[in-house]
Structure 1
């Protein structure tokens, strides 16, 4: 199937959504399995965190080094190659005889899990601009669900079959996903043929040329940092304050997955021209959710805390989707590099948030997180208020550079 005859149907949108969710989940399995992995591979407790860190570093490297290739290489081939690498990496992690082997495979798993960040911009090439936000929202709904369900799913499988089974089952799932993509993906060959070094160098030029790109990185970078602060600190607090074990924490994470329901609505709001309103509401919702969570924890109201988790997640996902629509609309020929610049920066902000979350909780309790998160959101709102444009976002701020 060629790019001239291909049209993205609702069924294919659903397939793309499921693929993105299944693929991105691989980044988060190790977070739920740190205990059994470190025990089985005789990793010292002080090095346990490196298991998660290496996977995330691999993903960050893939965002910067692989995703920009979608502006130069034939996309179908690039996606199938990354899927093949992911299958082999997962199988390697599952069969690792030593800590060193597992850590090398962890980097590779992260590196090859960027398939979803190639597939999502590709999908927007095959829909009219007026439907772009809706498609992004629908596909991102699957991706977000994959993130939120990855930890409880890994816990459930590991409880019955051991931690290695999680990676074996995922390797099989990725092989099946690859077969489906081989059947349904069209060929898509970008017209430009920049050298790889020039391709990477041009990412910096895009950051200079497009003010909306810089602003969207700032808006969502702050919210994603808050998101990671919350989900890093909340398991520690749930155990200490409410006495929850792994099962209870997993159920709480499932409740938070309800925020994924906001994704399709966010896409429709962006298509209808409500990008600014959605951004105001999203940042405000995250700040309010963080503040209310402080009172919920102090009063011992677990149900209210679960509602604030849904509220916070919905705000983060709404802002992410409207931001992606803005970024993808800046320059069709540079969509892969725009996505690489946006996602790499967002990922770095999220990594900083993960580190800060545990530290804030350790130093100031849950209010340490709640107050810091609220202040960050207020700063985000203040910066957003300085934006001048009153028209619909999504058109280039400057001519393509």
Structure 2
């Protein structure tokens, strides 16, 4: 496809679809590389244990900032240029993170890495706009599979690499990967000039209005905020637990454990088919209940590795399934504003994820693994209660 292609629905082709999927996965992975590495990074830079999880929190806060203030620019500016500029900034911030001399530089670069990784959410709507109507669902599904794959593989990949070359090279190599993908995108990515004439200020203000005026969007965002908060809590705290007695895992051991979460990628296509057949309500109930049960099983995790593995699989399956059920509902609200619906939905639940990761270290230090499990059960349990008891009366 020529780089000056501007026609909507003109098609992507297998190669371009693959480029979209890999790019989305590589960008989204930047938010999760640090999860199993916070203890190593904190020890290297002399951080107090209670603030180590702030490393992950800042990446997620940055991503939320990118979703709110950068992703809507796709409705104003030519998409190809916007994506390439954001990816270039992502490369610079990753390299800055790799050479960060102290905690202040580390935190600042982590925030920028998270913000510019939101380029992933510029690529997804671009793929939807370029795909023919009859192929739009399949194309977006393939791109989202790449994004979910990046999220789920990030933890084991970063753990393996950190055990071999150290944590700094994890981010340096990620910067090299994003740079290579940006170079390929420069040659292959088609142009798309948006038709919207709305000003930037009005565009940003409309995001808050959508959250207030669209109850389905608001409820779905909050449900998944609770789920993603539990997800981030588990995956930030579990590696810290595993690197202590009685497990005493190395980074490579944590990587093997994190591979259990990769099974969550299989939840997305199954959830999508269930939603298409009208099983969104029962599927959402099952997904929320699964994460509650996962943390109940994790109560035995202080001395049972199998309990932790089962919990990891259940957390990832439940969270990924709920994400797809939520997307299926919000994308049906108003096709002409899907970019902004996506931005509001993603921002809402990433704030929940930031809260979950921020709680991990201080809760683990103050209340132990029991505190992690209690909070992890409470988050989806509250969402499940509201969905079944309150939301059920409305539906």
**Structure 2 length-normalised TM:** 0.87
For residues 208-357 of structure 1, what are the structure 2 equivalents within 5 Å? 208-238=212-242, 239-294=244-299, 296-297=300-301, 300-357=303-360
Gaps of 5+ in 2: none
Matches within 5 A, 1:111-190: 111-127=115-131, 134-190=138-194
Structure 1: distance between partners of 2:293 and 2:36: 28
3-state SS of paired residue (2:191) = coil
Task: Structure 1: give runs of 5+ residues left out of the alignment.
Answer: 392-401
Structure 1 residues 5 and 169: CA distance shift in structure 2, 3 A: same
Report the CA distance shift for 1:7/1:178 in structure 2 as closer, same or farther (over 3 A).
same
State whether residues 137 and 265 of structure 1, in contact with CA within 8 Å, keep that contact through their aligned partners in structure 2: no
Assess if the C-alpha contact under 8 Å between 1:137 and 1:321 holds in 2: no
> Measured at CA, do residues 10 and 330 of structure 1 come closer, stay the same or move farther in structure 2, by a change above 3 Å?
farther
Query: Displacement, 1:218?
Result: 1.7
Question: CA separation in 1, counterparts of 2:154 and 2:168?
Answer: 15
Kindly state the Cα deviation for residue 88 of structure 1 after the two structures are TM-superposed.
2.0
Give 1:28's aligned residue: 32
Q: Secondary structure at the match of 1:317?
A: helix
1:397 alignment partner in structure 2? none
Shift of 1:58: 2.3
The question of 1:384 aligning with 2:387 is answered yes
Partner of 1:59: 63
- In 2, the alpha carbon distance for the partners of 1:104 and 1:355 equals 16
Aligned partner of 1:93 in structure 2 is 97
Shift in CA distance, 375/198, structure 1 to aligned 2, threshold 3 Å: same
Asked if the contact 1:24–1:143 (Cα under 8 Å) also holds between the matched residues in 2, the reply is yes
1:242 match: secondary structure: coil
| Distance across 1 between alignment mates of 2:57 and 2:308 | 28
Post-superposition Cα deviations, 1:253-312, rounded to whole Å, max 9, x if no partner, equal: 111221122122222333333322321221122122222222x426x4422431231122
Judged with a 3 Å threshold, the aligned counterparts in structure 2 of structure 1 residues 297 and 51 are, in CA distance, closer, same or farther, namely: closer
Give the superposition deviation at 1:102: 4.3
State how far apart, in whole Å, the 1-side matches of 2:273 and 2:13 are.
17
Compared with structure 1, are the counterparts of its residues 102 and 390 closer, same or farther at alpha carbon in structure 2 (3 Å cutoff)? closer
**CA distance, structure 2, for counterparts of residue 104 and residue 356 of structure 1:** 20
1:104 to 89, 100, 108: 108
Q: Structure 1, residues 381-400: CA drift from partner, whole Å, max 9, x if none?
A: 22112335999xxxxxxxxx
Give the CA deviation at 1:34.
4.3
TM-score, normalised with respect to structure 1: 0.85
What's the RMSD between the two structures over aligned residues? Answer: 2.9
Deviation digits for residues 339-387 of structure 1, max 9, x if unmatched?
Answer: 2211111111111112334444445443433344334333222211233
State the alpha-carbon separation in 2 of the partners of residues 53 and 80 from structure 1: 25
Q: What residue is the counterpart of 1:71 in the other structure?
A: 75
CA 1:245–1:3 in structure 2 vs 1: closer, same or farther (change >3 Å)? same
Q: Which runs of 4+ in 1 moved over 6 A?
A: 128-131
CA distance in 2, matches of 1:347, 1:45: 25
Give the superposition deviation at 1:129.
6.7
For residues 108 and 267 of structure 1, the distance between their equivalents in structure 2, rounded to whole angstroms, comes to: 33
